[in-house]
Amino acid sequence: MRRGALALVVACAATLVGTMPADAADRWTVSLTGAVTAAVARTGDGGLTFAATRGATTVLAPAPLGVRTKTADLTRDLRFLRRTDRIVDEHYAMTTGKQLRRHARAAETTLAFEGAGGTRLDVVVRAAADGVAYRYVLPGTGPVTITGEASSFTPPATAPAWLLPYSPNYENVRVETTASTAKAGDYGFPSLFDTGDGTYTLLTESDVDGRYSGARLTHIAGTTDYAIKLADASVTATGPFATPWRVAITGDLSTVTASTLVDDLAPPSKLADTSWIRPGKVAWSWLSEHDSPGDPVRQKQYADFAARNGWPYLLIDEGWDASWVPDVVRYARARGVEVILWFRWTTLDTAAERAKWLPLVKSWGAAGIKVDFMDSDTQARFRFYDDIAAATAQQRLMINFHGATIPRGLQRTWPHVMSFEAVRGAEQFKTRAATNTMFPFTRNVVGSMDYTPTAFVVSDRDTTDAHEVATFFVYESGWQHGADKPENYEARPEALRTLDQLPTVWDETRLLSGRPGQEAVFAKRSGERWFVGGIEAGPAKTVDAPLDFLGHGRWLADTLRDGPAGLLREKSAVSAGGRLSVPVAKNGGFVTVLCPAWPGRTTCDEEIRQVPATSLSVTPETAEATAGTTVEVKATFRLPAGAPLLDVELGPAAPAGWTVTGRPVFRPVLFAGQPVSGTWRFTAAAAAAPGTTDLPIAATYRFRGRSVHVEDATSVFVPPPVPVGTAQVSALPFLASSNGWGPVERDQSNGDTAEGDGRPLTIGGTVYAHGLGTNAPSSVTVWLGGACTAFSAVTGVDDEVTEEASVGFRVLGDDGRVLAETPVLRPGDGAHPLTADVTGVRRLTLQVTDGGDGKDSDHGDWADAQLTCAAP
């Protein structure tokens, strides 16, 4: 809650209901329906406790409340001032999740206290039908530093517990234990306890952002105390100040899994327009083929797979290169597939980096990004989440957080956040059936979960093929990344048929049966269709699921399950009030699609909407220009065959530093065989950046309710000034560069993944002031414009390498002609001088190869790389 919002809530509460005195026992209760009740009580030393009950069952025994700041101890000697009550009643819509339209209703009480020295502390408590929550408010103004919380939860001692040993990426194996016998240590949210009498309680938090740090639970062995532990030793903010909510979702397992309490407690959406946000299935190659994200040809094959099957996205993971990504994006978009690009978070952790990369990937036509390896719950890292969420929203780029923290309501506040990882996903372990059945009751309750499901490629897993398919359904993620390659899906056509029919967002979600570590069977609705599916951990059995949620009449049921010889598809007719019985193999699963049995209806499958094949030709393909000159571009768009296209518009987009004249051409209907053509003039500004720039022409149209973008471009080269005299290569602008690890570094070694993190260039004990630091495979192209005659450098493996490495150096002229090269060099070989005649060469490329044995530790230096050129 932001400062302004905080003031508004407090003011509204006071205006609506006034104040009431404390009761005689210094105990205050908050309840919406009477089923779930929160209780705050004052202890003999003036401290506070928090407890919760569901009916007659105590789910959380009294446990301490309070905070400590640098100037005040607000955990004791608190004097009660007043109580303020109100009802929170909100309707809101989500772009992702288990239920798109939400109704949040809760009773809220603010208990105002005063500590020693007159410092104020408000405890705000909410009670809803599905749980309770509290937060602290420090109403004073000015800076405040919190050094810790007294906050703690106390579940019943014998309560079975499903706990996650804490790590900042939340990827450890969840363990089954009890509240009192759990090992000492830190546990990550969310933590689930079976608190008795059919009631489960899930502990987590909500509304964490850069004003605070993330928290976890810390447990002392032999006790039932689970205390809040902040990621930072202290947190500094500006008052008035509200901490995150401490949340206890409680009820039967159906209530817990259906709960939206974490989102209900989060700030409302910051986006007025969410029309550009589109969840969906994603084709993704990294898990099944680690090197494939670096192969544009293979990525186009994944785009073709996505297009054939109606999957709206392709994720190009670690390894992509800016030299070919725009081409792959255009290829995919022409087939109705949008592209997501992977980033290491350190590439985007400053405002300057975000200002550089986000507009660029947007200009390429990317729909979103995946950001990886944040691996921290500190206040500083949550400030990064704030910054990157705002920056991507500004560019209308969706985002997925991988190597990340858990959701804490961010998907409500920033609806373009499609998913978080924060789970031990399909890539990480093979014995997974039991753990898989824990996730629906724990991690996935609090928000989208990027598990990357359905990985047939993991051949020695303990799950069946039907179990793998069912994870795609059981787990909720706005972007659902299919983890396998096209060939493995197409080798199982019945599995692929089911995957093609599965939505990734839902109108309703209901748990039908299950228990963590054993079984999870859900019913979910999307439009008129219901889907029922589940995953099992244990021996073969028959799942008998009630169908009382169906509407009247007969329904078709199309079930995919494991059979004696592989995946098996069965059809049946069912009705509301009946039951669905499905034989399930050991560690198996199933997915059933249900639809009204209209007369003549034989399938529940919806049509896969493939976009038609079109052509867009742009001439010229390439051009060269100088600042202030004009390039004329002609384009023709055609639909060779098929149903007509609607609202066709063909037009240009001026890149930065260019202007364009000529209006777009519009056709309300375009029939097969009819061309749409136009001519536009692009003019380079005097300050146009040197290098290669695309002058794009795009055709957009509507087809069967879908908007499709087809683009091609003239590639125009604006030469930079030619080098003169004796020129250091590290001082020249790069026309293109790529590197096997992090960026190519100027005048320092490769270092790590961040720009400028290298060391002095050192080969064989000699330090060089100038040159390039790379990690193979790498390539750097610079402009000579025919003005130079000689190149020289000292090459070798940088002395910072302490492990095995092997590199080779090549000097290439125009058209890839090899001008000079070294043998394979290794640590200890020392410096290897390299010279080349570059007379007449316009583009010079310096390559470092990996010696044929992989890129690990292959730090290759072009030390003292210089050119001999014409005199100025």
Spell out the domains of the chain, with CATH numbers in brackets. Answer: 3-264 (2.70.98.10), 615-718 (2.60.40.10), 726-869 (2.60.120.1060)
Tokens linked to 850:
């990996």
According to the model, what pLDDT value does residue 492 have?
Answer: 97
How do residues 718-764 score in pLDDT, each as one tens digit?
Answer: 999 999 999 999 999 999 899 998 899 999 999 887 888 999 999 99
386-390, 475-479, 700-704: range with lowest mean pLDDT: 700-704
Q: Identify which has the larger pLDDT, 752 or 273.
A: 273
Q: If you compute the radius of gyration of the chain from its CA atoms, what whole number of angstroms results?
A: 30
Q: How many Å apart are CA 343 and CA 839, to the nearest integer? A: 39
- Inter-CA distances, 458 with 429, 432, 462, 468, 805, Å: 9, 11, 10, 10, 30
According to the model, what pLDDT value does residue 134 have?
Answer: 98
User: Which residue is listed with tokens 């060099």?
Assistant: 825
How do residues 423-482 score in pLDDT, each as one tens digit?
Answer: 999 988 788 999 999 999 999 999 999 999 999 998 889 999 999 999 999 999 999 999
Share of the chain above pLDDT 70, in %: 97
Q: How many Å apart are CA 302 and CA 611, to the nearest integer? A: 16
According to the model, what pLDDT value does residue 21 have?
Answer: 40
752 burial level (CB within 10 Å; 0-12, 13-18, 19+) = exposed
721 burial level (CB within 10 Å; 0-12, 13-18, 19+) = exposed
Give yes or no for a contact between 163 and 183, defined as CB atoms under 8 angstroms apart: no
Q: Identify which has the larger pLDDT, 7 or 583.
A: 583
According to the model, what pLDDT value does residue 18 have?
Answer: 36
Confidence of residue 505 (pLDDT cuts 50, 70, 90): very high
Give yes or no for a contact between 281 and 313, defined as CB atoms under 8 angstroms apart: yes
Q: Averaged over 787-795, what is the pLDDT? A: 98
pTM comes to 0.89
Question: 114, 176, 427, 570: which is the annotated catalytic residue?
Answer: 427
Give the residue among 405, 386, 393 at the shortest CA–CA distance from 368.
Answer: 393
Q: Averaged over 808-828, what is the pLDDT? A: 96
Tokens linked to 192:
């689930």
Question: 372, 694, 711, 712: which is the annotated catalytic residue?
Answer: 372
Is 427 considered catalytic here? yes
Residue 215 has pLDDT above 80, yes or no: yes
Helix (H) or strand (E) holding 7: helix 3-17
Q: What is the SS3 assignment for 529?
A: strand
Give yes or no for a contact between 681 and 630, defined as CB atoms under 8 angstroms apart: yes
Q: How many Å apart are CA 510 and CA 798, to the nearest integer? A: 59
DSSP per-residue codes, 101-164:
EEEEEEEEEEEEEE-GGG-EEEEEEEEETTEEEEEEEEEEEEEEEEEEE--EEB--TT-EEEEE
How do residues 748-757 score in pLDDT, each as one tens digit?
Answer: 999 887 888 9
How do residues 314-354 score in pLDDT, each as one tens digit?
Answer: 999 999 999 899 999 999 999 999 999 999 999 999 999 99
Residue 831 has pLDDT above 60, yes or no: yes
Q: What is the mean pLDDT of the chain?
A: 94
Q: Averaged over 572-590, what is the pLDDT? A: 96
Q: Please, what is the end-to-end C-alpha distance for the chain in angstroms?
A: 61
Q: Averaged over 222-230, what is the pLDDT? A: 96
DSSP per-residue codes, 346-392:
GGSSSHHHHHHHHHHHHHHT--EEEEE-----SHHHHHHHHHHHHHH
Give yes or no for a contact between 57 and 199, defined as CB atoms under 8 angstroms apart: yes
Confidence of residue 232 (pLDDT cuts 50, 70, 90): very high
Give yes or no for a contact between 485 and 289, defined as CB atoms under 8 angstroms apart: yes
Backbone region of residue 721 per phi and psi (left: phi > 0; alpha: psi in -120 to 50; beta: other values):
beta
How do residues 185-211 score in pLDDT, each as one tens digit?
Answer: 999 999 999 999 999 999 999 999 999
β-strand pairing of 313-316 with 226-230: unpaired
According to the model, what pLDDT value does residue 25 have?
Answer: 66
Q: How many Å apart are CA 666 and CA 658, to the nearest integer? A: 23
Give yes or no for a contact between 363 and 356, defined as CB atoms under 8 angstroms apart: no
